[in-house]
């Protein structure tokens, strides 16, 4: 961050739609457009840049900070969000921690949402918060190429140099979004029930509640569902937030009353849009292990899962307990990251030691150097793009 604190204020509203319409006007006037330092060159032919949204709740400050250090690169933009159940003290402590990192302090490419959104588990407020973060990233500096949302329970399995290296050969209008129109049991349990998320209009934390009646499935559009973990192009998010078509807003109104809308909103918008439906690469780039039968969340990963994680070719994995030893293994073996330091990349030119941060000095931040994990990740992307080119796994 810069010398002064950068705070952003979200506007809670009675309707999910109002959250989206007002979000572009919710940024404090003290935070004007702030370009990347001239050291950073963006756009083709330079490596791609990523807009990251990292979120957590009460007690997640340290986890959010550690995740940020693991995925930091000067070319990227980051918005951090500790939900309304976290304290102002936690947010202040997070800002102080950010200022302790030389690169973050110098490149000023990390911001913290100061007036946080209220989030209800399984409610549509999670989708509203994601749209909010994307709007903030666009307002700060819209020159990133892909948007990636991560929770405090996530961690990377590759370096940012690996990610940029592989994505340099990917069309920048493509969207990595797991999706299917085979709704199965979700018709009765997710889409026919009518739910209300009180986080959109109450100041206190309250569970979502169900209406007494159900509704029929829509016939004006087709519902798609899939993983809530997405890698979305900037052009598609612009369509969702300030779009020229009413489709994103129409679906936003519908999904306001859908349980776990983050599993279906972006999938349904993109697959019902003639302009974007052919830009869907069917994969979320995440490594997760689900129980059988699957529960609401995948199970926590540990050291026994390390080898399988590494061989998966995924970019990120979830879920992890705080400070689990497997995270230390990822830091040591993959990221080469020391405690309280950012993961080094080709841009770092300082001396590496346990007491010295190699990324406190830097050279050309527009050069990336692939690491040992890049081969597996490159194979994953190649296979996904082969499916996309064959049109066998697009919106149907």
Helix (H, G, I), strand (E, B) or coil at 36: coil
C-alpha closest to that of 136 among 106, 100, 99, 109:
109
Phi, psi of 335 (to 5 degrees): -85, -20
Phi, psi of 8 (to 5 degrees): -120, 145
Give pLDDT tens digits for 187-244: 998 999 999 888 888 877 777 888 888 999 999 999 999 999 999 999 999 999 998 8
For strand 209-214 and strand 193-196, is the pairing parallel, antiparallel, or unpaired? antiparallel
CA distance 275 to 202: 37
DSSP 158-226: S-HHHHHHHHTTS-TT-EE---BS--TTHIIIIISEEEE-GGGT-SS----EEEEEE-PPPSSS---B-
pLDDT, residue 293, reads: 67
- Is residue 124 within 8 Å of 200, Cβ to Cβ? yes
CA distance 70 to 83: 21
pLDDT, residue 29, reads: 27
Torsion sign, CA atoms 54, 103, 70, 42: positive
b (16+ CB within 10 A) / e for 11-34: ebbeebeebbeebeebbeeebeee
pLDDT, residue 36, reads: 47
CA distance 179 to 185: 15
pLDDT, residue 24, reads: 33
CA distance 150 to 163: 15
State pTM to two decimals: 0.88
- Is residue 395 within 8 Å of 284, Cβ to Cβ? no
| Mean pLDDT of successive 10-residue stretches along the chain, which has 396 residues | 36 33 32 54 91 96 98 97 94 96 95 90 90 95 95 97 96 96 91 88 78 90 95 97 92 93 96 94 95 78 96 96 97 94 94 80 94 93 92 72
DSSP collapsed to 3 states, 13-30: CCCHHHHHHHHCCCCCCC
């Amino acid at each position: 961050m810069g010398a002064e604190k950068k705070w952003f204020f979200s506007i809670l509203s009675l309707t999910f739609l109002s959250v989206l319409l007002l979000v572009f006007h919710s940024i404090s006037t003290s935070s004007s457009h702030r370009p990347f330092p001239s050291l950073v060159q963006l756009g083709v032919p330079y490596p791609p840049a990523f807009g990251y949204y990292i979120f957590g709740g009460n007690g997640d400050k340290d986890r959010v900070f550690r995740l940020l250090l693991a995925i930091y690169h000067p070319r990227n933009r980051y918005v951090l969000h500790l939900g309304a159940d976290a304290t102002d003290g936690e947010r202040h402590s997070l800002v102080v921690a950010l200022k302790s990192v030389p690169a973050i302090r110098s490149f000023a490419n990390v911001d913290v949402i100061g007036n946080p959104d209220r989030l209800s588990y399984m409610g549509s407020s999670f989708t509203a918060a994601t749209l909010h973060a994307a709007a903030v990233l666009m307002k700060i500096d819209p020159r990133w190429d892909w948007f990636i949302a991560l929770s405090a329970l996530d961690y990377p399995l590759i370096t940012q140099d690996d990610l940029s290296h592989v994505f340099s050969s990917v069309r920048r209008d493509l969207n990595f979004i797991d999706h299917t129109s085979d709704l199965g049991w979700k018709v009765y349990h997710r889409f026919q029930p009518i739910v209300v998320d009180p986080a959109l209009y109450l100041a206190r934390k309250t569970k979502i509640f169900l209406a007494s009646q159900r509704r029929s499935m829509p016939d004006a559009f087709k519902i798609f569902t899939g993983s809530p973990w997405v890698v979305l192009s900037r052009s598609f998010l612009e369509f969702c937030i300030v779009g020229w078509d009413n489709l994103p807003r129409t679906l936003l109104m519908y999904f306001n009353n859908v349980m776990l809308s983050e599993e279906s909103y972006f999938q349904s918008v993109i697959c019902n849009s003639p302009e974007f439906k052919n830009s869907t690469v069917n994969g979320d780039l995440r490594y997760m292990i689900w129980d059988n039968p699957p529960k609401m969340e995948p199970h926590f990963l540990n050291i026994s899962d390390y080898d399988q994680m590494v061989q998966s070719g995924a970019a990120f994995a979830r879920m992890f307990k705080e400070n689990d030893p497997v995270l230390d293994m990822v830091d040591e073996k993959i990221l080469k990251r020391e405690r309280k330091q950012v993961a080094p990349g080709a841009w770092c030119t300082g001396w590496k030691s346990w007491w010295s941060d190699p990324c406190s000095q830097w050279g050309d931040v527009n050069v990336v150097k692939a690491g040992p994990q890049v081969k597996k990740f490159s194979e994953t992307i190649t296979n996904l793009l082969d499916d996309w080119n064959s049109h066998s796994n697009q919106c149907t």
